[in-house]
């Protein structure tokens, strides 16, 4: 059945730093209160309560996710980033709490929306439009999207940023991180400082809609003339740091193709996986957000629609070459070559304990199975995700020695993982070896 879109609710976004801090402070107090109450009950029953069990209750999980979803902006985004990026290093309870944020959908009330647009376009902005739909067609962590028709006949999608997002980014990230630490939700062995610094940097970029517009236009140029993909056109005259105007394009969520004929699912996932390789090795420019909502499908033409370029990232040629070497070694079963390339890229450190290094190399070779497979790899029939998760959990007692890789690598792995999950959801059959081989032969390609 098609994926049901969650019903959106109008919830005002707290725009001042003080209001946002007060909401987080209130959340911490409510969690502390529930911990104390539950602890007292367990003591009364003669049980010895564990702090982790008291904190990670279903009720507290709802409180954290609901509060961050209402705040949106960086508070919501940092939860999403941690849940997706830290992977198996986080306790499953925390991953579940933060994972809920990817499905939350609230939007600004009308008066708040009007103020944002007036600040961006001036008091007479409505005169430019024949129609402007006040109810958004989509809502996310830092903005919401409206459909509109201009008086000169353009059919547009208008992305409007929530008020206060940009100026609250640094404090939101710090406050959410402090909340998670105080609640004991982040394992002591995980150094989240690089992740938080990167979250701030990425959020400042994503909150600049003029930058996103430039990335949108650049991808449009890179894929110009290709009938397989559709990138909405940018409308620079209506784009500001807080508002992004682009063509409105009709399509269905990409994962609605799950019940489509096998051949169509194979075709679409072959396109997306090939684009992923092209982004790394040919463009060296990648849209790194693996959210399924960033891909749609046009049923009338079969084109794949690409959306949301806020998380676009450039990669240096040296990183592409390092990945080329890593994949070449992996495809040939060259364990010393894999180890050397993994150290260059930053997966392994000089002080990584030998047992952990061996386990990580085995896990990496496992992840290469789809690329090493001769002919179409059946994502739907593979148990690779389960085996990878079990392998990661077997290393949980060595979390103190796990180090986050460099941020470029971090984002690449996040995109690889997201595309793999989408292919699994679609039960696609794709010949990955055929797709990757040409790129591995282009040493030092521009």
Sign of CA dihedral 143, 146, 149, 154: positive
Strand 138-139 relative to strand 312-314: parallel, antiparallel, unpaired?
unpaired
Number of Cβ within a 10 Å radius of residue 275: 25
Catalytic status, residue 300? no
Catalytic residue among 289, 383, 408, 431: 289
Look at strands 285-287 and 143-150 and give their pairing.
unpaired
Give the pair of three-digit tokens for residue 274.
Answer: 């090939």
State both tokens at 25: 């402070």
**Which residues make beta-bridge pairs with 247?**
156
Query: Who's near 108: CB < 8 A, 6+ residues apart?
Result: 10, 11, 12, 13, 116, 144, 160, 162, 163
The 8-class DSSP code of residue 12 comes to P
State how far the Cα of 387 lies from the Cα of 93, in Å rounded to an integer.
20
- By C-alpha distance, which of 100, 102, 77 is closest to 177? 77
**Alpha-carbon distance 142 to 161, whole Å?**
6
Cβ neighbours, 10 Å, residue 125: 16
Q: Which residue has the tokens 């292919």?
A: 423
DSSP state of 282: I
Among candidates 295, 249, 298, 250, which has minimal Cα distance to 273? Answer: 295
Residue 69 exposed, middle or buried by CB count within 10 Å (0-12, 13-18, 19+): buried
What is the Rg, in whole angstroms, of the alpha carbon atoms belonging to the chain? 23
| DSSP class of 275 | H
Residue where the block lists tokens 């997966």: 347
Extract the runs of DSSP E, i.e. beta strands, from 59-217: 106-107, 129-132, 138-139, 143-150, 155-161
The CA distance from 183 to 94, in Å, is: 11
Among all residues, which ones are annotated catalytic? Answer: 289
């Amino acid at each position: 059945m098609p994926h049901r879109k969650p019903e959106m609710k109008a919830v005002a976004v707290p725009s001042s730093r003080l209001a946002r801090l007060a909401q987080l402070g209130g959340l911490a107090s409510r969690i502390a209160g529930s911990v104390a109450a539950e602890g007292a009950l367990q003591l009364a029953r003669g049980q010895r309560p564990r702090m982790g069990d008291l904190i990670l209750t279903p009720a507290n999980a709802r409180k954290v996710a609901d509060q961050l979803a209402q705040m949106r902006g960086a508070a919501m985004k940092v939860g999403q980033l941690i849940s997706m990026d830290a992977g198996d290093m986080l306790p499953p309870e925390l991953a579940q709490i933060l994972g809920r944020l990817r499905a939350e959908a609230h939007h600004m009330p009308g008066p708040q929306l009007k103020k944002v647009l007036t600040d961006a376009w001036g008091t007479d902005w409505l005169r430019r439009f024949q129609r402007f739909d006040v109810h958004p067609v989509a809502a996310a962590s830092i903005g919401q999207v409206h459909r509109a028709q201009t008086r000169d006949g353009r059919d547009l999608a208008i992305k409007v940023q929530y008020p206060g997002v940009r100026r609250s980014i640094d404090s939101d990230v710090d406050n959410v991180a402090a909340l998670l630490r105080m609640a004991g939700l982040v394992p002591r062995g995980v150094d989240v400082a690089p992740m938080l610094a990167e979250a701030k940097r990425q959020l400042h970029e994503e909150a600049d809609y003029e930058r996103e517009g430039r990335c949108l236009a650049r991808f449009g140029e890179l894929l110009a003339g290709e009938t397989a993909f559709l990138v909405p056109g940018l409308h620079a005259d209506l784009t500001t740091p807080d508002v992004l105007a682009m063509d409105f394009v009709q399509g269905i969520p990409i994962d609605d193709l799950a019940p489509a004929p096998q051949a169509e699912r194979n075709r679409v996932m072959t396109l997306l996986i090939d684009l992923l390789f092209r982004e790394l090795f040919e463009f060296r420019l990648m849209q790194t957000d693996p959210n399924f909502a960033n891909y749609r499908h046009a049923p009338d033409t079969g084109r794949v629609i690409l959306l949301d370029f806020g998380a676009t990232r450039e990669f240096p040629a040296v990183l592409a070459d390092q990945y080329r070497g890593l994949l070449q070694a992996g495809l040939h079963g060259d364990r010393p070559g894999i180890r050397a390339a993994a150290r260059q890229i930053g997966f392994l450190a000089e002080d990584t304990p030998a047992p952990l290094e061996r386990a990580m190399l085995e896990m990496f070779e496992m992840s290469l199975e789809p690329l090493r497979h001769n002919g179409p790899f059946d994502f739907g029939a593979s148990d690779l995700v389960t085996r990878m998760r079990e392998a990661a959990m077997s290393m949980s007692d060595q979390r103190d020695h796990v180090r986050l890789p460099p941020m470029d690598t971090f984002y690449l792995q996040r995109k690889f993982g997201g595309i793999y999950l989408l292919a699994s959801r679609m039960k696609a059959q794709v010949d990955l070896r055929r797709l990757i081989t040409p790129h591995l032969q282009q040493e030092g390609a521009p």
